Amino acid sequence: MAQIDPRGRMELIEAGEKPGTGVCVDFCRLDVRGVATQPLVRACGPRGRLIDATAGLGGDAWILAAAGFAVTCIERSTPVATVLDDGISRALNDDSLRKIAQRIGLIVGSSRDLLMTTVPPDARPTSTVYLDPMYPPKEGSALAPKSIRLVRAAVGDDHDANILLESARGAGFGRVVVKRPLSAAPLSPGVHHAVEGKLARFDVYQDARV
Ligand SMILES: C[S@@+](CC[C@H](N)C(=O)[O-])C[C@H]1O[C@@H](n2cnc3c(N)ncnc32)[C@H](O)[C@@H]1O
């Protein structure tokens, strides 16, 4: 659930937890120096329009906006979107963050419905879709960071991620990028190339018609 914390920010928190112990979106905490060389940014290719179709708490969207992409975030969980929206609003009121925040928009709803209506067909070949679906926790692995645990508690696992990937690929988007755990198989066959980071891999699907 989302609620206001003692400092007036929206936080994602589990019911019954003490106010102020949840997670809020604070973009000033993110270091965006040298973003252009980050695997995520390299995988997303030439700067332009980008749809972050699984926005979550917007960490990746912020990096991509800092790198120069015009980012449209889509998030289907209302509590998660509420907390993200609050973080974007506070960033817009902060002189040091405004320039990046102005490159981010947020739509609440399912990307499976909104991807096609948000980007007209003629703009799709030059647009990138980015997907970072929630994947099941690995058994026996270290405890995930609190933000991931709270988002998981709010949204569960994204079992329909492959359907979203296939509809994005079939709709004529020039590039679709999927974040995967390093050791996981691609979400779908047909990866054009992958960019590996220390903690994740970014599988790039390119439309052969573009
Ligand atoms: C792993 S989190 C994304 C984390 C994000 N990349 C970040 O940096 O904070 C996945 C998010 O995608 C959202 N999501 C999954 N499928 C979606 C869909 N079809 N439409 C909109 N949001 C979706 C989930 O609700 C969840 O908040």
Write the burial class of residue 135 (CB in 10 Å: 0-12 exposed, 13-18 middle, 19+ buried). Answer: middle
Residue bearing the bigger pLDDT, 192 or 144: 192
Over the stretch 14-72, which tens digit does the pLDDT of each residue have?
999 999 999 999 999 888 999 999 999 999 999 999 999 999 999 999 999 999 999 99
pTM of the model: 0.96
User: What is the set of domains in the chain, with CATH numbers?
Assistant: 29-206 (3.40.50.150)
Whether the CB of 86 sits within 6 Å of ligand 1: no
Selection from 35, 59, 58 nearest residue 47 by Cα: 35
Over the stretch 56-90, which tens digit does the pLDDT of each residue have?
999 999 999 999 999 999 999 999 999 999 999 99
Helices (H), 67-138: 78-92, 98-101, 111-118
Query: Is it the case that residue 126 has pLDDT exceeding 90?
Result: yes
Closest residue by CA, ligand 1 atom 15: 54
Please count the helices (runs of H) and the strands (runs of E) in the chain.
Answer: 7, 9
Whether the CB of 174 sits within 6 Å of ligand 1: no
Query: Per DSSP, what are the bridge partners of residue 168?
Result: none
* Residue 210, pLDDT score: 62
Query: Is it the case that residue 99 has pLDDT exceeding 90?
Result: yes
Closest residue by CA, ligand 1 atom 13: 54
- How many whole angstroms separate alpha carbon 57 and alpha carbon 25? 7
* Residue 162, pLDDT score: 95
* Residue 10, pLDDT score: 98
Over the stretch 190-203, which tens digit does the pLDDT of each residue have?
999 999 999 999 99
Instruction: For the chain, give the percent of residues with pLDDT over 70.
Output: 96
